């Protein structure tokens, strides 16, 4: 006879991946309802999911989660599942201890998503209709002594080689939105350390996929560089087998250069008394694993328009004007 399992507000017996902080575990245990039916001890046909599964609950105080689908709890080598997953207003700062292990500091933000997931014997398929990040404040933290571009190139190249066009993992996002956010980069290895960021960031990306067969992803972004310069980015992105390649057009206008003084001190040993920063990268195609290894290609695509007075910070400083 098929079994039915009903669990309301699960107790302390839940098991979690290694490294999940107790604060996160307590929030997940707070209010979660789970129902599974028709659990059978017979082998099911390939691609069959005989057991209806329903999960609904409140996580992280205000967030909501809902799973509505079917599963095969006795499948080998692991449980299989196919169904809809909805997340609403999931608070991201609870995940800060986890993201910091990957040098990503998330101070705040909420996530909402509507997706279909199939976790099968032959692989995983994730189809996300809508993914929204609202009021996100996040920084990538660079701490190693190696050059930042070299580290980013290695990490990006490894990740894209592992997952781009991987037949066992397919991820597609119909629409990704980032709204009213601040995204930045902190280099703690530099002397002095510096922080560059875009505030008031709004990003809209469509047709983002890990597989080339799904075509080109296109994105638009706007914000204020260093909280000052109005900025716009347009990008077209293609997942390739050796790593993604993309077309990029970037425009930044009238950034107050004084906000960039720690960056200038770290790499040029000078600071800026007054001036505006307005680089432009004309639309050009980049292959990510090559462009990050050859940053001079980016530099040659940039035109800097500025009228500034620079004060050298070295002993016996001199003054000069860039006209």
Residue 20 burial (CB < 10 Å; 0-12/13-18/19+)? middle
Residue-wise pLDDT tens digits, 9-22: 444 445 555 555 66
Expressed in angstroms, the distance from the first to the final Cα of the chain is: 85
Residue in 153, 200, 160, 87 with CA at minimum distance from that of residue 294: 153
Running DSSP on this structure, what letter comes out for residue 45?
P
Under a CB-based contact definition with an 8 Å cutoff, are residues 204 and 251 in contact? no
Residues of the chain with pLDDT under 70: 1-30, 145-165, 240-244, 280-323
* Sign of the torsion formed by the C-alpha atoms of 21, 22, 24 and 28: positive
Under a CB-based contact definition with an 8 Å cutoff, are residues 278 and 254 in contact? yes
As a whole number of angstroms, the distance between CA 71 and CA 120 comes to: 10
As a whole number of angstroms, the distance between CA 204 and CA 116 comes to: 21
As a whole number of angstroms, the distance between CA 124 and CA 115 comes to: 13
Work out the mean pLDDT of the chain and round it to a whole number.
Answer: 77
Residue in 103, 101, 184, 175 with CA at minimum distance from that of residue 141: 103
As a whole number of angstroms, the distance between CA 262 and CA 135 comes to: 26
Total residues found in the chain within this entry? 323
Dihedral (C-alpha) 200, 206, 207, 208: value to the nearest 10 degrees?
0
pLDDT value of position 168: 81
| Residue ranges in 148-216 assigned as alpha helix (H) | 148-163
Residue-wise pLDDT tens digits, 188-210: 999 999 999 999 999 999 999 88
pLDDT value of position 240: 67
Provide the token pair at 181.
């956010």
CA contacts within 13 A on the Cβ side of 272: 20
């Amino acid at each position: 006879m098929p079994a039915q399992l009903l669990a309301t507000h699960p107790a302390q017996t839940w098991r979690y991946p290694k490294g999940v902080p107790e604060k996160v575990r307590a929030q997940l245990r707070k209010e979660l309802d789970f129902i599974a039916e028709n659990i059978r001890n017979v082998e099911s046909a390939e691609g069959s999911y005989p057991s209806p599964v329903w999960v609904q609950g409140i996580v992280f105080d205000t967030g909501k989660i809902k799973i509505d689908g079917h599963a095969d709890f006795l499948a080998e080598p692991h449980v299989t599942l196919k169904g809809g997953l909805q997340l609403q207003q999931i608070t991201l700062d609870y995940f800060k201890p986890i993201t910091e292990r990957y040098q990503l500091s998330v101070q705040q933000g909420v996530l909402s998503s509507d997706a279909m997931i199939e976790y099968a014997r032959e692989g995983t398929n994730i189809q996300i209709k809508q993914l929204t990040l609202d009021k996100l404040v996040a920084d990538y933290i660079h701490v190693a002594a190696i050059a930042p571009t070299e580290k980013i190139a290695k990490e990006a190249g490894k990740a894209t080689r592992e997952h781009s066009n991987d037949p066992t993992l397919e991820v597609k996002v119909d629409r990704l939105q980032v709204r009213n956010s601040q995204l930045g980069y902190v280099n703690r290895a530099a002397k002095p350390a510096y922080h560059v960021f875009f505030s008031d960031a709004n990003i809209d990306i469509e047709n983002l996929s890990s597989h080339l067969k799904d075509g080109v992803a296109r994105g638009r972004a706007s914000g204020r560089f260093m909280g000052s310069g109005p900025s716009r980015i347009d990008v077209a992105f293609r997942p390739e087998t050796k790593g993604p390649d993309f077309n990029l057009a970037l425009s930044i206008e009238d950034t107050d250069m004084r906000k960039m003084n720690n960056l200038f001190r770290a790499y040029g040993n000078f600071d800026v008394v007054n001036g505006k920063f307005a680089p432009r990268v004309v639309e050009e195609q980049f292959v990510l694993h090559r462009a990050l290894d050859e940053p001079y290609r980016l530099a040659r695509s940039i035109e800097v328009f500025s009228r500034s007075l620079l004060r050298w910070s070295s002993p016996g400083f001199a003054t000069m004007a860039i006209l």
